[in-house]
Amino acid sequence: MNLLSSLVLIIVLCKTVSIDVLVPLSTNVPDSTLYPHVIHPRQPKRLNLSIHAPLHTNKFYSNAILGDYGNNPLLTHPYVISMSKDSPYGVSISLTEEWSYGPQIDSTRVKYFINRIVKNIQMSALEFLSQQFEVNNVDEPGFACTIKMFQSNSSATITLPLVRGMAYVTFEFVFATPRISTIHSILSVNGRTSGNITGKRFEIVLNNNQAWLLYALDGEITLEFSGNQLIGTNPVTNVLRLAKKQAEPSANAVLDAQVGVYPIACQLEARVIGFQGSYMFKWQRKGNLSKTLLHFTFPHHRSIISLVDGQFTNVEAMSASKGRMIGYLGNIWTLTENALSTMQFLAPHSPAIQYRNLIVTQLKKDLAVGANLTVSDYYFTGKEFHKYALLCLLADYYREIAEFNRCIKTLKDGFEVLITRKNANALRYDTTWSGLVSSAGLGQNQELNDFGNSYYNDHHYHWGYFIQAGAIIAHLDPNYVSKIRDWVEGLIRDASNPSSLDTSFPQFRYFDWFSGHSWSQGLFESADGKDQESTSEEINFHYGIALWGLATKSSTIEGLGRLMLGTAKRAIQTYFLMNNDNTVMPQQFIANKVTGIFFENKADYTTWFGTNPEFIHGIQMIPCTPITEEIRLVKFVEEEWVTILSKIVHNAVPEWKSLLYMNYAIINRHEAFIQLTNVSLDNGVSRTWALYWAATRPSTNDSNGTVSTRKPDLSTVSTTNTASSYTSTMVASALIQLLLTIIASKTPAMLI
């Protein structure tokens, strides 16, 4: 074998080694001299875990452990579960498959859609005379929690394993007398309208065109008609399961056949081989384990789920907000992304040569101004670090040695303050919820400081900027890695700890592997479930992890970042960035192009900080980096520009124009470049980076009719980001006001 072929073989081998990416970054408890340990001001309620495990803050079950009653909805999809605070004490289940639509914005689109939550069917026990329940089990990746309802002075309990995608709602009864009710009228049960009915399968027909199937797995039970309720004739110890009846008879036969086994939790596995990544859901089951689990898939699962390990059925239901779900038979799901991103630090295309001098001139101007890396908050300072790190990257790229040296020194000085925790609001390790939080929001009435960072809102957004800035230094000066590794990897562990072996943090606090994307809302009750608005800042986080792994030569961290990127990209392009031919989201809503705030139970074309269209679209663009081209594809950008952005860009808040024009460069490089030479800048973007980014776009439309013939001219360009602090303050105060209103009213319902 000659040298060349040996090299090729080595490369091939490296690429085909399967890497487990769910390995801990560390298992050390955060050092209390570096991260003072604190008890969180918001304590979980109704929690009694049988096995101590880090508790999730941003998963679907938070509502159960927050607030006085824990009665805000728990969205499992398709079923919506609510713990009843009034009689009959127990749970109510909603599956309406109906939405309300908000006001018409124009003839093509409505502002919001919201899934209707109705108490279609309620399950309780005769023994329950008040609301009493506790969460007594949670799984590691946040797919499941177990709720136990009980009553003091009674041995009756009902345990409810809630699992994302469950095809039936399961109730483990112990010495409890079933009490089934509804806000509708019960028309018949197994064709009967009165008396006692004994059996293992009940078909409960309601007057709202729904029927529900009730199964008893462990022997017959007897239910008696009592007014509009069905009451057990005896306390039972049995597993009962409810499912909404399907329209298609053969689908009900599938429900009948598969009912014997039920899910209680999930375990995650994830591996990367070269450019392919797979993640696996290993469902933990109870009941008749010789049966195969029937469980619902979301649309984004179906294009990548293995048909070797399982098969689809014709059992269907509409999810609350992510389109049609289809039942899949399989105890293990394997989902494979075949083309993981290979994006590195710089754009994969060189900047067009004609722009070079303008960019280099601008680079010198921007670096002469210096940086403001004084940390007190994390969101805006994170953006400053990232903005400045990108300048260092370009100083290196353009071989401006003196500028580069100055830049990297300034950046290191900035990090030095963080590493030595000399910044205001330095991070604390919260032992209640197992996480790193800003100390800015731990006092009374401070919960919304820094966008709620101390209450676990938005860490993936905030940390994403710092992680990427850290990755850039690591790339530019590998000797610096040992200095910042613990700090940067602490952020990764907090927001995206990949392994349950690292018991100092929950596994994947933000990323919801079932939904394929993250949720940004932390420890706040919500009538519509968790939400996320900035998918671009989510992507920035995953990209940051991939780059950190790349720069520090950790193939597991890099692989993890790239797998999350691929997964999030699919979900975002299925649900959040809607092409005109999107078939998943409601037709009335698609022409908005972007979802605005996407909750579990609704999407609202708005933002937390204002309703300007440039905010709604711009928050799905920031920050524009090399990865943006893989998420915002030309077809989407073209549709969004033609139907919405071209009409609003001229009247947009000035510094938001910088984002709109960077995005526009994807389809019209030259015109966008000219605009970017003189537009006010968002506080997270330097003019140098904006110009570089535009210049690295393909030459689409450079010479087509719509293109301006103007020549770019930098002689009048300003070097300061004049209006930027205005946006920051405005956005922050609007957000805080909005959240305060919501909290004051205690009805964090619709934002309209």
In the complex, which residues of this chain contact ligand NAG (CB under 6 A)? 48, 50, 134, 152-153, 195-196, 224, 233, 260, 288, 290-291, 372, 374, 376, 638, 641, 667-668, 678, 701, 703-706, 713, 716
Among the listed residues 127, 377, 403, 458, the single catalytic one is: 458
Which of these is catalytic: 450, 512, 533, 639? 533
Q: How many CB atoms lie within 10 A of CB 368?
A: 10
Q: How many CB atoms lie within 10 A of CB 311?
A: 13
User: Minimal CA–CA distance to 468: which of 395, 384, 535?
Assistant: 384
**Closest approach of ligand NAG to the CB of residue 568, in Å:** 26
Q: Considering beta carbons, is residue 195 or 227 the nearer one to ligand NAG?
A: 195
DSSP secondary structure, 437-459, as one string:
E-GGG-STT-TTGGGGGGGTSSH
Least distance from ligand NAG to the Cβ atom of residue 130, Å: 8
Sheet holding 332-337, edge to edge: 18-20, 261-273, 276-287, 332-337
Instruction: Evaluate the omega torsion of the peptide bond into residue 263 and state whether it is cis, within 30 degrees of 0.
Output: no
Per-residue burial over 176-190, b = 16 or more CB atoms within 10 Å of its CB, e = otherwise: bbbbbbbebebeebe
d(CA 532, CA 606): 12
Q: In the complex with ligand NAG, which residue's Cβ is closer, 213 or 375?
A: 375
Active site residue 538: no
> Which of 249/705 has CB closer to ligand NAG?
705
Helix 459-476 crosses helix 535-551 at what angle (to 10 degrees)?
Answer: 30
Amino acid identity of 403? E
Nearer to ligand NAG, 410 or 588 (CB): 410
- In the bound state with ligand NAG, the residue whose beta carbon lies nearer, of 197 and 481, is 197
458 is catalytic: yes
Minimum CB–partner distance for residue 231 and ligand NAG (Å): 9
Per the DSSP assignment, residues forming a β-bridge with 333 are 281
For residue 224 the two structure tokens come to: 């008696």
Shortest CB 216 distance to ligand NAG, Å:
12
- Is 537 annotated in the active site? yes
Q: Strands of 191-287 (E only): list them.
A: 196-199, 201-206, 211-216, 221-226, 229-232, 236-244, 261-273, 276-287
CB-wise, 45 or 291, nearer to ligand NAG?
A: 291
CB of 196 closer than 8 Å to CB of 223? yes
At 453, the amino acid letter reads N
Look at the block and give the residue holding tokens 């797998």. 563
Nearest-approach distance from CB 351 to ligand NAG, in angstroms: 19
DSSP states of 495-535 as a string? Answer: HH---TT-TTS-TTSSEETTTTEE----S---TT--EE--H
Among 531, 537, 604, 682, which one carries the catalytic annotation?
Answer: 537
The 3-state DSSP class for residue 197 equals strand
| 653: exposed, middle or buried (Cβ count in 10 Å: 0-12, 13-18, 19+) | middle
Least distance from ligand NAG to the Cβ atom of residue 224, Å: 5
Give least dist CB 441 to ligand NAG, A.
17
Whole-angstrom Cα distance, residue 727 to residue 7? 53
Q: Between residues 342 and 354, which has the closer beta carbon with respect to ligand NAG?
A: 354
Of the pair 88, 529, the CB lying nearest ligand NAG is at 88
Shortest distance, CB of residue 409 to ligand NAG, whole angstroms? 17
Catalytic residue numbers read 458, 533, 537
